[in-house]
Structure 1
């Protein structure tokens, strides 16, 4: 079941944090970079975030989520995480479809590591293209993927 999350509530923020730490730890191993800011985020940072969080629940447990910031006709995906036990089961795709169906006529973009091929492949499968490459201050290569969402 997909629902919007109330990240300002302590227990919800705690669940978001636990899920993203598990998911981003797996990503950190994959890309060989443990400087992912979300790994060191706090419950209070999530509670005060202005992002919109949408979660995917399985048997009452938060197993995946997508978060974004939306301004007029531009939307940035800020988080897309899946519990490692649920990788490759379509949860990220379900959340992407949800997002695309609810934000038509919008430029949607996301940043990810150039080394995170599973994430890049997911974005490609939804018609995203790499629009820019850049390096973080530590030299880690990143990409920006975007697509104009006129239909899902």
Structure 2
């Protein structure tokens, strides 16, 4: 089940925070960069980030989440979080489809990931995102920016 959630000083947000650390540690290892913002942010910063969140729940247990912002005609996916024990079960794809429904009135979706994060890049390509460019964001660290235009 996918549902919108509001972050706060509660148990679910604490679980999300811990899951985010575990999930982004995997990406950090893939791209050999350990200063990824979601990996180094504090609990307080997460609670106050201002992003909208959707959670993937199974039997009331949090297994994944996606966050996004909307500005003008563009929805930007900020975080894709899946508990490492639940990788490769379709959770990220389900979350992508759910966020697309939120973007129907918008014209485009953007998302980025580490250039060397092949599993994430494959996920976005599978869901019809187009690689727009690779950007060097720190010396020797590149991210891949993907976009998808929606009909309507």
Q: TM-score, normalised by structure 1?
A: 0.93
Q: Paired residue for 2:61?
A: 61
Aligned length: 151
- Give the distance between the partners of 1:149 and 1:12, measured in 2 at CA: 32
Structure 1 unmatched runs, 5+: none
- Over 3 Å counting, the alpha-carbon distance change for 1:45 and 1:10 in structure 2 is farther
Q: Paired residue for 1:79?
A: 79
Cα deviation code 1:47-66 (max 9, x no counterpart): 11110000001222211010
Q: Any conservation in 2 of the 1:80–1:92 contact (CA below 8 Å)?
A: yes
Q: Would you identify which runs of 4 or more consecutive aligned residues in structure 1 move more than 3 Å? A: none
Q: Any conservation in 2 of the 1:51–1:69 contact (CA below 8 Å)?
A: yes
Q: Any conservation in 1 of the 2:112–2:144 contact (CA below 8 Å)?
A: yes
Structure 2 unmatched runs, 5+: none
Cα deviation code 1:98-119 (max 9, x no counterpart): 1112311421001111101111
